[in-house]
Amino acid sequence: MRQNKGKTKRVPTIFDIINLREKDILNTIRKFSKNPNRCPYCGSTKVVKFGKLRTDDIKIQRYYCKECHRTFNELSGTPLEGVHSIKNALLVAYFKLELKCSDYAISKALDIPYPTVRYLSNKINNNTKFFKSLLVLIRSATSL
């Protein structure tokens, strides 16, 4: 079989993703989302670091806009904004985009409530390119 010129895009296996920590995924996301130097609400560049949001495994950088006085975080404005578990989002993306599973099958396979799968599935539909790139990046981050 002939390979494409340039880089070969590989996708992760389920084991690659299952073994990942949220922290690893966040670090991968950071590689292609630069630190925000602009407020997503008003576009001002007067933003400063403003503590961190903590979950069990990860710390998400928060920012404060000195212009409009709103806060946001490093996932604001990305398709992962508002997502509770980045890992679940990635798992749903994998089952949906790579394995072509239905939302119902994904809900059963991963034991994630159907409404949550629907919510993530909609995000993935609207940002297919982002999630495909994320899966490719995860693969390159996990294969040594």
Residues that bind Zn ion (CB under 5 A): 39, 41-42, 44, 65, 67-68
Say if CB 21 and CB 57 are below 8 A apart: yes
Minimum CB distance to Zn ion smaller for 67 or for 81: 67
| Sheet containing 71-73, strands listed edge to edge, beginning at the edge strand earlier in sequence | 47-54, 59-65, 71-73
Q: Which is nearer to Zn ion, 45 or 128 (CB)?
A: 45
- Residue 30 or residue 66: which is nearer to Zn ion going by CB? 66
Three-point CA angle 98, 55, 92, nearest 5°: 15
Min. distance of Cβ 81 from Zn ion in angstroms? 16
Q: Which is nearer to Zn ion, 39 or 117 (CB)?
A: 39
Closest separation between CB of residue 77 and Zn ion, Å?
12
Q: 61 - beta bridge partners? A: 52
Q: How far is the CB of 61 from Zn ion (least distance, A)?
A: 16
Shortest Cβ distance from residue 137 to Zn ion (Å)? 29
